[in-house]
Amino acid sequence: MGHWYYLGSLVGMGSAFACWLVLSILLGYKCRVLALDLPNQRSLHTHPTPKGGGIVIVGVIILASVSLMWCLSGMDGIFVALAISALGFGAIGWWDDQRSLRIRNKLLIEFAVGAIVVWLIDLPRELQFSGLSISSLLPFLVVPIALLWIIWMTNLYNFMDGIDGLVASQAVFSSIVIAGWFLLYGDVGMALFCLAVAGAGIGFLVLNWSPARVFLGDVGSLTLGVVFALLALHGVAKYQMPVSAFLLLYGVFLFDATVTLGRRCLTGERWWEAHATHFYQRAVRSGVGHAQVSILALLGSGCLAVLGTLEMLGVGPGMLWFPLGLILVMLMIVGVRRLEQRAIFQ
């Protein structure tokens, strides 16, 4: 087993160096592959910054999927789905970065690509959630739920890509954790894929950490969202991994985006329009720096990942870890509101 750890390290370091090198060249030559993000009244940055740097992560994901499909598993549905989803959602995001798609057209294309991806993968027939087992899921329920999960995760990562380093650092952390989870089940191929994504994220993060020299853009955020949606679906379908473990791992992003979107819908706001009311945006506007918010989000995700891993391992009462995670996320939200109150008082 030791040689697989060396191989995983090489894969991670190789993808990190490749992403950093290619992106540095693109920035150095001011390549038109990268669009220019101009700040506006909602922006949390003050200088024009290239966006679309996530295209290098898309390249790594496609290359890793095709390589592993060829080396390890043949025409394995999950690797085909990962490659097609990265290509499809990456293309949607790149075009949106360059030309700006109308929200209706963007969602229609996302649903079309998502439907193809759902058709390619094995879907769960039994769910493990916080110590409970839900079996005999009917296909007519599984398919739409899987499709909605993919679309929501894809756009969720897009919503959360508003400050330097936040999405990239979460992607690196989540990839490493999920690689460990797949190794628990002996799935070296999926673990290597996750380490390739983690390495790509590290290479990108070097240039995206505050103050950022480049942004992910929709091409990067949409692609990362669909990849993490598929990793969860594959783990649940093939190994009966607990759904609640993935919900805990993604909890910081899921809670922020879902609560914010729900609040905007309830108040009659146009949920699809750009805004600055996410909890991470409110923290920055309260005076906390981009780097500090990203680090605090990582600490929160780290605690949630511990709870998710305990559930994955079946340690202790399974029904305990998910509620504890919810309490932790709510405490983080209380902290943001305290910051806002302090900023108003000052």
Mean pLDDT across 101-114: 93
Q: Has residue 20 got a pLDDT over 60?
A: yes
pLDDT(28) > 90: no
Q: Specify whether the CB–CB gap between 310 and 282 falls below 8 A.
A: no
Question: What pLDDT is attached to residue 295?
Answer: 94
pLDDT of res. 346: 54
Task: Please tell me the predicted confidence (pLDDT) of residue 75.
Answer: 55
Q: What is the pLDDT of residues 108-133, one digit of tens each?
A: 999 999 999 999 998 888 888 877 77
Query: What is the Cα–Cα distance from 33 to 73, expressed in whole angstroms?
Result: 33
Give the pLDDT confidence of 183-237 residue by residue, as tens digits.
999 999 999 999 999 999 999 999 999 899 999 999 999 999 999 999 999 999 9
Looking at every residue in the chain, the average pLDDT score rounds to 89
Per cent of the chain over pLDDT 90 is: 61
**Stronger pLDDT, 332 or 46, i.e. the higher one:** 332
Residue 151's pLDDT is what? Answer: 96
**Residue 221 near residue 38 (C-beta atoms within 8 A):** no
Residue 333 has pLDDT above 90, yes or no: no
Handedness of CA 38, 197, 202, 244 (dihedral sign): positive
Per-residue confidence (pLDDT) for residue 9, from 0 to 100: 82
- Tell me how many degrees the CA angle 90-92-98 measures, rounded to the nearest 5: 100
pLDDT value at 319 more than 60: yes
Check whether 60 has a pLDDT greater than 90: yes
pLDDT tens-digit series, residues 266-313: 888 887 777 788 888 888 888 888 999 999 999 999 999 999 999 999
pLDDT at 112: 96
Tokens of 178: 């999920």
Question: Using CB atoms within 10 A of its CB, is residue 95 exposed (0-12), middle (13-18) or buried (19+)?
Answer: middle
Tally of CB atoms within 10 A around 41: 5
For the chain, the distance separating the N- and C-terminal CA atoms, rounded to the nearest angstrom, is: 57
pLDDT score recorded for residue 31: 78
Interior angle at CA 23, CA 216 and CA 274, nearest 5: 15
Per-residue pLDDT, 334? 84
pTM, to two decimals? 0.93
Pairwise pLDDT comparison (89 vs 315), residue with the higher score: 89
Is the pLDDT score of 73 beyond 60? no
Q: How far is the C-alpha of 60 from the C-alpha of 205, rounded, in Å?
A: 14
Query: What is the distance between the alpha carbons of residues 93 and 99, in angstroms, rounded to a whole number?
Result: 10
Instruction: Answer whether residue 30 shows pLDDT above 70.
Output: yes
Asked if residue 53 has pLDDT above 70, the reply is: yes
